[in-house]
Structure 1
Amino acid sequence: MSKGQRNTSRQPVARVRGQESGQPRQPDMGRSGGGSKPSGRGKPTGNFLTPRNAPAAPQGKPAPAARRDAAPINPEGRRAPVNYDTRRAAPVRGEAALQHERRFGNKNAAMPATDAPQPEFGKARREGPAPKVQRAKKLALRAPKQEIVDRSARLRETRVDYSKIEPIRLQKALAASGVGSRREMEEWIEAGFITVNGKKAALGDKVGPQDRVTAKGNPIKLKWADRLPRVIMYHKQEGEIVTRDDPEGRVTVFDRLPQAKSSRWVAIGRLDVNTSGLLLITTSGELANRMMHPSFEFDREYSVRVLGELTREQMQEMTKGVELEDGPAVFQRVSEKGGAEEGANRWYNVVIREGRNREVRRMFEHFGLTVSRLIRVRFGNIGLPPRLKRGQYYELNEAEVAAVMKWAGLTATGQAKTGKRD
């Protein structure tokens, strides 16, 4: 490519339109249908015109190959206008060029590429596969005592005889096996897509390890809790949400955690997007239901930073009960944690036994105080370890999981010791 040809494609818009100087637009002789004599220049210039004094390509030499991002030829014999973005190899049609055409009706006018943000077009560019989320780091601890290591190894190898596993509801067994959610499985059962031992299933049916189940004609291998579940302590960060699918494409805690090969992670309770701290995650749905159920009243302790200060009367009123828009709420305990005397922020520790949406924040807002930071530091008898930093997780060993199951009143397979819970 000669120097003159390179300069041709970089001419500013004011010099190539031919509108400002009153000169008529010059046809491009190198285009098909543009004139009777071709100029011999094989490189299309898109929506830029060629100046009169541009040197022609040397005779006798083959014309250079057409650019791969050249504009297509329309039925009139002209190339469609293209706005070339100098940062990309492929042609990009800018929103500014479209607005110019709609306003002036000049389909051959070109607008220069700009670095200014273009909301609509920029949004379309961001659509596509979600960015890769960095996995959370596992907390490294020193090896426990040898007796704990030996007990964990024995528990890891222990399996419960299938004959001792009691039947459970069909939709629950299908959901635990990863076929779908309970609600979806109920819809499949009502639609007649599920069979048990060759017969069409009905809502309320129970299945055990010996039953044969098919879904939409495909055999399903049900998974049974014949061993201890897995339990993870995760230090959730602000900005992460506790859900499996987010339509807004935000980062979820399940994107950050390791994969569960033969089961599915279930969060024990939730933390809103602006709350950090301890989040317990397990593969046992029974353990999660047990610890979240209001009838068991497991304590949830939070460290709260507020802009302002509570009075003694307000702290007493919080422990007696405050009427919110969705019902009364009460703190089991409120204590002042401290803070800089000259600062406007104060830290408090509160204990609550409910898990309603934004309940702690709304309790402080009832007294005109804004919560600037909220951290969960304890759930039940499990506290947030000081060494577990934000974005890290720690998986409990088998001995620790067995202690949690015993404290929750469950057997190793998740069955209630004093009764069954379906």
Structure 2
Amino acid sequence: MERLQKVIAQAGIASRRKAEQLIVEGKVKVNGEVVTELGTKVSNSDKIEVEGIPVEREEKVYFLLYKPRGVISSVRDDKGRKTVIDFFPHVDKRIYPIGRLDYDTSGLLLLTNDGEFANLLMHPRYKIEKTYIAKLKGIPPRPALKQLEKGVELEDGMTAPAKVKFLSGDRKKNTAIVEITIHEGRNRQVRRMFEKIGYPVLKLRRERFAFLTLQGLNAGEFRELSPHEVKQLRELALRGE
């Protein structure tokens, strides 16, 4: 037996908080009866409707994809470009990416059909760390990287402090490789942060999401997360509350 709002959230219909609101507003039925009690628990055999639409309860799946460059982090693309879903033709469930990576950014991306899990990992308050390797135009001095560690002002506000590590520089090519770890997920955030300090990103790859890495995978390959990894991610997010 699971709480009704949790089942609705896991189906990807709404966040748990929104699901609770829908229940209180009388927009949820269980076995044809309107339910407004938040403590209500349901079993797999119960039929649930939200605003007249049946809730489909799929087996939950969790994938880790090494997204190549030139692929859209979306379920579909109106311009006909390749999306991350195209790497999963054998999966008959309605999976979608957790967050996104830019078209020109490669690296670690999680996909699932578990809406509550996705909301948990994407919410900024849970502070899940994401680590990127950036190839930069120019070789930033230490004071410039220090700005990123303190936070920089972007058009959508100040960034949270980042962890930054200079890995290498090539004076002949005038490029540098820098590792940066953030826990926010704003649009094109890493690229904008480096642009702000005057060192544009030439190439970007997400190397790590929490404790997960790309180990053993080539671009375009994926693997399923183990039940233990899924449990660890949940616990890690909830510790950040």
Among 231, 237, 244, the alignment partner of 2:75 is 244
Partners of 1:330 and 1:258 lie apart in 2 by: 38
Asked if structure 1 preserves the Cα contact closer than 8 Å seen for 2:5 and 2:38, the reply is: no
Asked if structure 2 preserves the Cα contact closer than 8 Å seen for 1:169 and 1:205, the reply is: no
Name the residue aligned to 1:10: none
Structure 1 residues 331 and 276: alpha-carbon distance in aligned structure 2, compared to 1, 3 A threshold:
farther
Name the residue aligned to 1:326: 156
1:299 has 2:129 as partner: yes
TM-superposed deviation, 1:196: 3.6
Name the residue aligned to 1:394: 223
Letter in 2 for 1:260: V
The sequence identity of aligned pairs, in percent, is: 33
Q: Which runs of 5+ in 2 are unaligned?
A: none
Structure 1 residues 213 and 395: alpha-carbon distance in aligned structure 2, compared to 1, 3 A threshold:
closer
Partners of 2:131 and 2:56 lie apart in 1 by: 37
Asked if structure 1 preserves the Cα contact closer than 8 Å seen for 2:6 and 2:116, the reply is: no
Q: CA RMSD in A?
A: 3.5
TM-superposed deviation, 1:269: 2.1
SS of equivalent residue, structure 2 residue 235: coil
Partners of 1:417 and 1:296 lie apart in 2 by: 7
Letter in 1 for 2:180: V
Q: Which runs of 5+ in 1 are unaligned?
A: 1-162, 411-415
Name the residue aligned to 1:8: none
TM-superposed deviation, 1:309: 1.4
Name the residue aligned to 1:360: 190
Partners of 2:204 and 2:14 lie apart in 1 by: 32
Asked if structure 2 preserves the Cα contact closer than 8 Å seen for 1:276 and 1:376, the reply is: yes
Among 98, 104, 107, the alignment partner of 1:268 is 98
Asked if structure 2 preserves the Cα contact closer than 8 Å seen for 1:170 and 1:204, the reply is: no
TM-superposed deviation, 1:182: 4.1
Among 189, 198, 208, the alignment partner of 2:42 is 208
CA-to-aligned-CA distance 1:114-147 (integer Å, 9 cap, x gap): xxxxxxxxxxxxxxxxxxxxxxxxxxxxxxxxxx
More strand by share: 2
TM-superposed deviation, 1:305: 0.6
Structure 1 residues 364 and 403: alpha-carbon distance in aligned structure 2, compared to 1, 3 A threshold:
closer
Letter in 1 for 2:184: E
Structure 1 residues 170 and 335: alpha-carbon distance in aligned structure 2, compared to 1, 3 A threshold:
closer
CA-to-aligned-CA distance 1:287-321 (integer Å, 9 cap, x gap): 22222222221111000011111111111111111
Per the normalisation by structure 2, the TM-score is 0.80
TM-superposed deviation, 1:170: 7.5
Larger RCO (alpha carbons 8 Å, 6+ apart): 2
Letter in 1 for 2:217: L
TM-superposed deviation, 1:363: 0.8
Larger Rg: 1
1:168 has 2:5 as partner: yes
1:223 has 2:57 as partner: yes
Asked if structure 2 preserves the Cα contact closer than 8 Å seen for 1:266 and 1:285, the reply is: no
1:315 has 2:145 as partner: yes
Structure 1 residues 196 and 382: alpha-carbon distance in aligned structure 2, compared to 1, 3 A threshold:
same
Asked if structure 1 preserves the Cα contact closer than 8 Å seen for 2:65 and 2:109, the reply is: yes
Name the residue aligned to 1:350: 180
Letter in 1 for 2:79: E
Partners of 1:342 and 1:417 lie apart in 2 by: 47
Asked if structure 2 preserves the Cα contact closer than 8 Å seen for 1:169 and 1:207, the reply is: no
TM-superposed deviation, 1:331: 4.4
Name the residue aligned to 1:234: 65
CA-to-aligned-CA distance 1:223-281 (integer Å, 9 cap, x gap): 276xxx432221111121111232222211012224433x4323222101111111122
Name the residue aligned to 1:335: 165
TM-superposed deviation, 1:356: 0.6
TM-superposed deviation, 1:216: 9.0
Structure 1 residues 167 and 205: alpha-carbon distance in aligned structure 2, compared to 1, 3 A threshold:
same
TM-superposed deviation, 1:417: 8.2
Letter in 2 for 1:323: E
Partners of 1:380 and 1:417 lie apart in 2 by: 13
Structure 1 residues 213 and 318: alpha-carbon distance in aligned structure 2, compared to 1, 3 A threshold:
closer
